[in-house]
């Protein structure tokens, strides 16, 4: 089903979190991880923390057989870019994947419809995704879209999508205003070697 998203899509599979971590390390150009909440060697929250430390820019969508809203909230607040139940229809999974690849956070219907849940920072604003935050830090370094795309191994169109989300997040009109707002909010430039 995922290979139907685009012609040259490569899908890698792992049966354990340890294998997934190794694949992520070997393939630094990954665009997305679909992570099962229940794997033999650790649960999704634990794996999400490891991915967050090792690959902070990598968006992760958690899959679970459970529609438990408490688990949904936990994984989204821990930095997941989305949550999908295994019982969802294929179209919903594809919508979630497309949404996250576009730099958004995908909320399951149970949270978005009933509880108006939105992962938020302490100021009440929606959080930036990990990838958006990384793009923002590149902006703080003064990098152009092409440079950001090359640095993060993503398309320039994807960078533009993230920049648009960043402008919306800070409620500003241009990159310069976003950089100023980000600096005021404590965001730091990337430390590039």
2-115 is a CATH 3.40.50.2300 domain: yes
Residue found by looking up tokens 């033999």 in the block? 40
Question: How many Å apart are CA 62 and CA 44, to the nearest integer?
Answer: 7
All structural domains of the chain with their residue ranges: 2-115, 130-184
Whether the CB-CB separation of 5 and 98 falls below 8 Å is answered with yes
Question: How many Å apart are CA 171 and CA 178, to the nearest integer?
Answer: 8
Reading the chain (193 residues) residue by residue, the pLDDT tens digits are 777 677 778 889 999 999 999 999 998 888 889 999 888 899 888 998 888 888 877 888 998 887 777 778 777 777 788 888 877 777 888 888 888 887 777 877 666 544 444 444 544 455 787 788 889 999 999 899 999 989 888 888 888 888 888 888 888 888 888 888 888 888 888 775 5
Question: How many Å apart are CA 168 and CA 166, to the nearest integer?
Answer: 5
Domain boundaries 130-184, CATH class: mainly alpha
Question: How many Å apart are CA 116 and CA 109, to the nearest integer?
Answer: 10
């Amino acid at each position: 089903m995922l290979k139907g998203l685009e012609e040259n899509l490569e899908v890698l599979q792992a049966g354990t979190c340890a294998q997934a971590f190794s694949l992520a390390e070997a393939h630094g150009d990954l665009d997305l991880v679909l992570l099962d909440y229940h794997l033999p060697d650790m649960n999704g929250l634990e794996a999400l923390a490891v991915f967050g430390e090792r690959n902070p820019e990598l968006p992760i969508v958690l899959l679970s057989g459970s529609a438990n809203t408490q688990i949904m909230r936990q994984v989204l607040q821990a930095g997941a870019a989305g949550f999908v139940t295994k019982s969802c229809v294929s179209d919903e999974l594809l919508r979630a994947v497309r949404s996250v690849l576009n730099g958004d956070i995908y909320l399951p219907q149970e949270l978005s419809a009933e509880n108006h849940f939105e992962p938020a920072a302490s100021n009440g604003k929606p959080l930036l995704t990990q990838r958006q935050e990384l793009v923002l830090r590149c902006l703080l370094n003064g990098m152009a879209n092409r440079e950001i795309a090359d640095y993060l191994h993503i398309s320039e169109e994807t960078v533009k999508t993230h920049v648009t989300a960043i402008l919306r997040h800070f409620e500003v009109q241009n990159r310069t205003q976003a950089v100023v707002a980000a600096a005021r909010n404590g965001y730091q430039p990337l430390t590039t070697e």
